[in-house]
């Protein structure tokens, strides 16, 4: 069991770097780790998607809010492996269920939405910084990053809704 915030930070760092020594703690203060981390991911992925979408559609906000969106994207991308691994541990401790299996399968894909959001947040922030300094940016690059940002933000949000809904069904039934 994790008893304090410093232990939680160590857990997150170990999970992200892949060098967990032994199993991940199953609980934090008596509450299963998975739902705690998952709720952060469920909130932050759509929030980052909204930030990426806003920066894509309102270029003057790229340099102003870019660092905040990038930092949040880094945090959520680091939390995804913790959510996945703690979910796998929780799954092993529960009776077999098609709903839990479906949720686990969907949950394994969240990183494929979080990483592109992070990359696009960095790209948008970088484009904003260049524009702020008057450095030239090819028009096609702005269009490409904007279109990709819109598509990825929508896809990542839809994916998060599907994963979250399947998790709610697995816990609470349909």
Paired tokens of 148: 């990709």
CB contact at 8 A, 62 and 125: yes
Q: Note the pLDDT tens digit of each residue in 76-92.
A: 999 999 999 888 887 77
This prediction has a pTM of: 0.81
Number of CB atoms found within 10 A of residue 28's CB: 20
CB contact at 8 A, 127 and 137: yes
pLDDT of residue 86: 84
Q: Note the pLDDT tens digit of each residue in 99-149.
A: 888 888 998 999 999 999 999 999 999 999 999 999 999 999 999 999 999
Q: Which of 155, 172, 36, 33 minimizes the C-alpha distance to 99?
A: 172
CB contact at 8 A, 80 and 111: yes
More confident residue, 38 or 174: 38
Q: Is the pLDDT of residue 70 over 50?
A: yes
Q: Note the pLDDT tens digit of each residue in 156-173.
A: 999 999 999 998 888 887
Q: Note the pLDDT tens digit of each residue in 13-67.
A: 555 545 445 567 777 778 878 888 999 999 999 999 999 999 999 999 999 999 9
CA distance 154 to 132: 27
For the chain, percent of residues with pLDDT exceeding 90: 58
Phi, psi of 23 (to 5 degrees): -70, 155
Q: How many helices (H) and strands (E) does the chain have?
A: 6, 2
CA distance 174 to 166: 9
CB contact at 8 A, 41 and 106: no
Cβ density class 126-156: b for 16+ within 10 Å, e for less = bbbebbeeeeeeeeeebeebbebbbebbeeb
């Amino acid at each position: 069991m994790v008893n304090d915030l410093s232990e939680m930070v160590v857990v997150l760092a170990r999970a992200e770097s892949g060098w967990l020594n032994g199993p991940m703690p199953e609980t934090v203060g008596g509450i299963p780790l998975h739902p705690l981390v998952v709720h952060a991911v469920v909130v932050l992925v759509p929030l980052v998607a909204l930030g990426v979408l806003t920066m894509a559609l309102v270029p003057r906000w790229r340099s102003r809010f870019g660092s905040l969106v990038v930092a949040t994207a880094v945090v959520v991308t680091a939390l995804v492996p913790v959510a996945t691994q703690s979910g796998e541990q929780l799954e092993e401790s529960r009776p077999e269920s098609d709903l839990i299996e479906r949720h686990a399968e969907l949950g394994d894909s969240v990183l494929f939405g979080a990483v592109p959001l992070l990359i696009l947040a960095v790209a948008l922030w970088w484009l904003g910084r260049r524009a702020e300094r008057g450095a030239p940016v090819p028009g096609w690059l702005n269009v490409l990053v904007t279109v990709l940002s819109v598509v990825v933000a929508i896809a990542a949000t839809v994916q998060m809704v599907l994963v979250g809904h399947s998790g709610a069904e697995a816990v609470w039934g349909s």
